[in-house]
Structures are given as structure tokens and as C-alpha cells.
Amino acid sequence: MSPELINLIIQATFETLYMVGIAALIGTAFGLPLGVFLATSRKGELFAAPTVNRVLGIVVNATRSTPFIILVVAIIPFTRMVAGTSIGSTAAIVPLTIASAPFIARLVEGAIREVDGGLIETASSFGASPVQIVLKVLIPEALPGLLLALTLAVVSLLGYSAMVGAVGGGGLGDLGIRYGYQRFMPEMMLAVVVVLIALVQLVQSAGDYLARRVNRRLRHR
């Protein structure tokens, strides 16, 4: 493979990391609070607001059930408004974020709901406010689950980021389609797939390691 092609792969890898990194960050910034709220706002819960909970649940489900490629196209006007353009890696961050936030929210909700309800009662019994319960009990106790959820979200984003290539988003997917498919360069396609597999492995291993590090539940000496 020529040095120019290798340079292309390196550049595309950075584009992918950029898109996925920023989308994961912003997606978490929205998804984490949303997930915590979803996990604590049913009837009788800390921030009980059953109607809001139901409405948000429907919105989250709707976003998640829209095929990503359709979401990308459908929100192009919004993307142009936010990013100033609808083409390129920066523009691709917008649909990636919009797809990842509800996904992260559901994963966070699951992780938070795993926390023993007795701990909420305990914290209430010594006068903790709902916000204190979230910050001092729910999030620290759910941390291993939250880290695994985030890992899963990043892995999914890597997959999604390959799709934005189809609409000029750049990154590894874009490279694979343009060179591997349209220019009949199977070795390029293979290289792209190998890099993606390596990235996923790396992210998953790092996530597993961190989750294990913070998990004190089954700590062996």
C-alpha cells in the first residue's frame, strides 16, 4: 500500500476519533442527566414526575427507533444551523450526538436502576436531599455500570460514524466507501475494517478495565 493511502487511513482514523470523541462527550452531557431523571421520576420516586417521565420516554424511544442513516438526512437543516455546514466531520457530530444521547440515557437509566433501592431509603433516613442522593449515592454506586454503558455507547458510535461517511462526514467509513467500494480497492476496505476492529477492541478493553477498577462489590484481596 502506498504511503499516500496509509496517510489517508491515518487521517480518517483521526477524523473518526474526533467525531466519536466529541459526540460521546456531548451525548453523555445530555444523556447522563436525562438517564438519571428517567431512572428517578416514576411515581413515588425521588423526582416523581410520571407524566414528564412518560413523555421523555416516548421521545427517547422515537429517536432510538429512527434508523441512523435516516436521522442523518432528516436533520440536515438542523445540522446546518448548529455546525454551519452539513458536510464534513464537524457536521457529522450533530447527528451522532443526537443519536447517542437517548441511547446513553437508556443505558444510564438501566445502570441507575440497578442500585439497591434500600440505599435511597437509607440516605433519605439521614436527611439527604434528592440531589445529594443522586450525587453521593446513585452515581457512585452505579459507576461500574455507567462506565460499561459509556463503553457500549462509544462502540456503537464507532459503528454510526462509519455511516456518516455516506453523507460526506469523513472518517474511516467514508474512506472505506469511497476507495474500497467505489474505486474497487478491496485492500483499502480491509484496512478500514481492521482499524475499526482494533479501535472497538481498545475501547472495550479500556472500559472493562476501568469498570473493574471502580467496582468494589466483588473485590478480592
Binding region for other proteins (CB under 8 A): 116, 118-119, 121-129, 132, 136-137, 140-141, 143, 214, 216-219, 221
| Cβ closest to other proteins, residue 183 vs residue 219 | 219
User: Least distance (Å) from other proteins to the CB of residue 125?
Assistant: 4
- In angstroms, the CA 183 to CA 85 distance is 27
Give the helix, strand, coil percentages of the chain, each rounded to 5: 80, 0, 20
From 182, 149, 150, select the one nearest 166 (Cα to Cα): 182
Shortest distance (Å) from residue 165 CB to other proteins? 40
The DSSP-derived string for 174-206 is: HHIIIIIIITT-HHHHHHHHHHHHHHHHHHHHH
Q: How far is the CB of 216 from other proteins (least distance, A)?
A: 4
Smaller CB distance to other proteins: residue 62 or 131? 131
Q: What is the rounded distance in angstroms from the CA atom of residue 34 to the CA atom of residue 47? A: 12
Nearer to other proteins, 21 or 212 (CB): 212
Q: Specify the residue, 78 or 209, whose C-beta has the smaller distance to other proteins.
A: 209
Shortest distance in whole angstroms from residue 24 CB to other proteins: 23
